[in-house]
Amino acid sequence: MNIILNGKPMQVDQVRTVADLIVFLEYEGKRIAVERNGDIVPKSQHGETALAEGDELEIVVAVGGG
């Protein structure tokens, strides 16, 4: 399946949901925000939000500091 991730085309295989993508990208356990086709995807819905060909996603990783 082909998606757009943070403005760049990406081909992902065996990725069906937002949760699958997070695992694929090795973002598990990190504080992230996910937007799919312009809509924020709450963390509670990552496992049930299916991805489709051509979806545009933005993933932002929170970075701590002081």
* Tokens of residue 56, six digits: 């545009």
Interval 3-45: pLDDT, tens: 999 999 999 989 999 999 999 999 999 999 999 999 999 999 9
CA distance 37 to 11: 17
CA distance 31 to 1: 25
Class of domain 2-61: alpha beta
Residue 56 carries which side chain, given as an amino acid letter? E
Q: DSSP strand E in the chain: where?
A: 2-5, 8-11, 32-36, 39-40, 56-61
Strand, coil or helix: 24? helix
Question: Looking up tokens 């509670």, which residue turns up?
Answer: 44
pTM over 0.85: yes
